[in-house]
Amino acid sequence: MIKLVIGSILGGIAQWFVGFILWGTPLGQIPVKSAGDVQDTALQTALAQTLTASGTGTYMIPSPFSQQGTTLYGRGPVAMVHFNTGGFPVMDTSAIVGGLILSIVTIFLLGLALWFIADRVTDFASRAKIVVLAAVATSLYFTIGQPLYNAYMPWVYFVYLGVGNILGFAAGGLVLARWFLPKGIGATTRP
């Protein structure tokens, strides 16, 4: 079990590092557009004037849950706005620490699943296939599914996010599967 915990920490760091490369460097600008400083100021002012009273939340604009909203929604433009009344630092250390903890937990959960089958799936190649397929399957459903089910969502952003999720999850899982699982039949003791 101690190897599983150590592997989860190192795998979580690998997963977090991939995420940092994709989002904490200039690469993170690939999936997003910038309206420009003048437009950003105007949009931020409009948000403050129209959404602050309703508060922090996610808004479908226009809301398709009324007759007028349905008409406006069909005509476009449309947006989903994740709105917060407060301001935040661009690089928030609490998000960085929280992200690392989440990475460690997700790799630990993957490690538990692999641990339970470690006496039947004994070689790295087979374990790697499970890790990569789990990464692809979860990312396809939970991330790529967003613009598929919600046609107004931007494909570029979600494909970038999905590929990043696959790469990060696979990197962390492969570190764990390669060096921190029992070596073969009879070597497994359940956590």
Per-residue pLDDT tens digits for 64-122: 999 999 999 999 999 999 999 988 888 888 889 999 999 999 999 999 999 999 999 99
If phi > 0 it is left, if psi is from -120 to 50 it is alpha, else beta; for residue 59 that is beta
- DSSP for residue 27: G
Mean pLDDT, the chain, whole residue set: 92
pLDDT at 39 over 50: yes
Using omega within 30 degrees of 0 as the cis cutoff, is the peptide bond preceding 89 cis?
A: no
Residue 187 confidence class, pLDDT cut points 50, 70, 90: very low
pTM: 0.86
Per-residue pLDDT at 190: 52
- Positive or negative, the Cα torsion across 161, 114, 123, 130? negative
Per-residue pLDDT at 170: 98
